[in-house]
């Protein structure tokens, strides 16, 4: 994957019909958007195109659409409304993914106007055309416009008709500012980090993060491990972990990582337990080697919080992927919250969140502005950090 690619700065966009693939796959509950970070992060590209008098056509997927019934809750209409508020200008919403209504609306666009069409995955009901990267569909979308801009970082680890397909179908396809920014931050952290470089990895399962931990061990000075995955590491070392989440088939990998990591891996020294998977119950904090049966670890303890904070406060580069505990329960959010606090206390460091749930946690805990960069792509940033090729970006190579 060539990381230095052409962006919208490098092409003439004035008066051109520009199809922009954004990632507006945002959480929506009862018609209300729960987190608009992805919409906000797409604004620089959209505003640039408005300021340069392009005719802007936006497309995105939203959730999974398998049946006709799924369409009722998977419309992008609420996103178009939110975008109009953020832009302070009208956004024409077309409730179709193809056809005369869409084509006429595109033809009627004036320079500086914005149109958004319906969820690209509505095309999945009829034979997975979007998710299966159907080239006929992609050719059709590309035929409606003069050029294509790919700015959906959150979808970059997938090859869809609306990213890889339209890029292949179009003579002119360039990246937007969000993809440029995401790659800049992640690539700099991996190839040119300021040291000490501290990686923080958590989340439920070690199996999701094996490749990323191995990769980070070759780049970072320290890898702090918290969250549910820590118990697989403790178990692998022979400690009792009670009812804590554990992947028994990953004990060997955990030991392999521990010997690879040696002095780099920092595990919790105390943990916060509950006698049930719930916010309330019999809650107590114990040392990592004193977990009794009948209890499960749902957060890191106060000594671990202090220990992790020391590493974080000394760091010059911080990459974080995965919460430190079940932050969805307020009694077990302190570990995750404290990582945010420690990062906030070290504004000199480059700090990047690369996980979907950790990003949501940091935003919901009010730390949105305390990081250098909160990635809009959980899966995509994970795969980038693992060193994998991202098809939704490499499709722009040689363009
Ligand atoms: P990210 O999306 O940031 O990469 P993951 O998807 O890997 O993070 O993990 C997030 C989930 O991990 C959260 O839903 C959280 O509740 C869960 N989790 C964290 N710590 C624990 C734990 N000790 N036991 C069970 N689940 C945990
Ligand atoms: Mg997740």
Task: Output the pLDDT for position 2.
Answer: 73
**Residue 272 φ/ψ, nearest 5 degrees:** -100, 120
* Cα 204 to averaged position of ligand 2 atoms, centre (Å): 8
Q: Output the residue whose Cα is nearest ligand 1's atom 19.
A: 325
The DSSP output letter for 220 is -
Tell me: the pLDDT tens digits for 44-87? 999 999 999 999 999 999 999 999 999 999 999 999 999 999 99
Span 264-319, pLDDT tens digits: 999 999 999 999 999 999 999 999 999 999 999 999 999 999 999 999 999 999 99
Residue 152 confidence (pLDDT): 98
Ligand showing the shortest atom-to-Cα distance for residue 202: 1
Q: What is the pLDDT of residue 262?
A: 87
What does the pLDDT read at residue 184?
Answer: 93
358 C-alpha to center of ligand 2: Å? 8
- Cα–Cα distance for residue pair 84/237, rounded to 1 Å: 54
Question: 227-245: per-residue pLDDT in tens?
Answer: 999 999 999 999 999 999 9
322-357 pLDDT, tens per residue?
A: 999 999 999 999 999 999 999 999 999 999 998 889
**At a CB cut-off of 8 Å and minimum separation 6, what does 193 contact?**
219, 220, 316, 317, 350
pLDDT of residue 355: 85
Of 265, 266, 21, whose CA–CA distance to 158 is shortest? 21
Q: What is the mean pLDDT of residues 145-170?
A: 98
pTM (2 d.p.): 0.92
Just list the catalytic residues: 38, 205, 356, 379
Reported as a single tens digit per residue, the pLDDT across 181-210 is 999 999 999 999 999 999 999 999 999 899
pLDDT at 214 over 90: yes
Question: Six-digit token pair at 297?
Answer: 């670890």
Check if 357 has its Cβ closer than 6 Å to any atom of ligand 1: yes
């Amino acid at each position: 994957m060539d990381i230095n690619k052409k962006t919208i700065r490098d092409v003439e966009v004035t008066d051109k019909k520009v199809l922009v693939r954004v990632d507006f796959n945002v959480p929506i509950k009862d018609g209300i958007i729960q987190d608009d970070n992805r919409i906000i992060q797409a604004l620089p590209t959209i505003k640039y195109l408005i300021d340069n008098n392009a005719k802007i056509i936006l497309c995105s997927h939203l959730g999974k659409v398998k049946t006709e019934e799924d369409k009722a809750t998977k419309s992008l209409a609420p996103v178009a409304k939110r975008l109009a508020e953020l832009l302070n200008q009208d956004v024409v919403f077309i409730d179709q993914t193809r056809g005369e209504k869409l084509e006429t609306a595109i033809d009627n666009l004036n320079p500086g106007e914005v149109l958004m069409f319906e969820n690209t995955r509505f095309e999945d009901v009829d034979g997975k055309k979007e998710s299966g990267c159907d080239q006929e569909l992609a050719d059709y979308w590309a035929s409606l416009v003069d050029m294509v801009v790919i700015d959906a970082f959150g979808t970059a680890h997938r090859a869809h008709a609306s990213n890889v397909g339209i890029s292949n179908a179009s003579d002119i396809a360039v990246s937007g500012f969000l993809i440029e920014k995401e790659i800049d931050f992640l690539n700099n952290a991996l190839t040119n980090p300021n040291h000490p470089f501290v990686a923080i990895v958590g989340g439920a399962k070690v199996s999701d993060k094996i490749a990323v931990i191995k990769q980070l061990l070759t780049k970072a000075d320290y890898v702090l491990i918290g969250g549910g995955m820590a118990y697989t590491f403790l178990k692998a070392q022979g400690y009792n972990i009670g009812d804590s989440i554990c992947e028994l088939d990953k004990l060997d990998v955990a030991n392999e990582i521990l010997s690879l990591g040696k002095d780099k891996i920092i595990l919790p020294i105390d943990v916060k337990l509950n006698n049930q998977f719930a916010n309330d119950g019999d809650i107590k904090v114990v040392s990592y080697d004193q977990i009794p049966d009948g209890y499960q670890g749902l957060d890191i303890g106060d000594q671990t919080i202090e220990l992790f904070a020391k590493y974080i406060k000394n760091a010059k580069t911080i990459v974080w992927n995965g919460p430190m505990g079940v932050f969805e329960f307020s009694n077990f959010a302190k570990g995750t919250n404290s990582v945010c606090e420690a990062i906030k206390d070290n504004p000199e460091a480059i700090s990047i969140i690369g996980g979907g749930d950790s990003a949501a946690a940091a935003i919901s805990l009010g730390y949105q502005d305390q990081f250098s960069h909160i990635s809009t792509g959980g899966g995509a940033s994970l795969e980038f950090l693992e060193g994998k090729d991202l098809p939704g970006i490499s499709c722009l190579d040689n363009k």
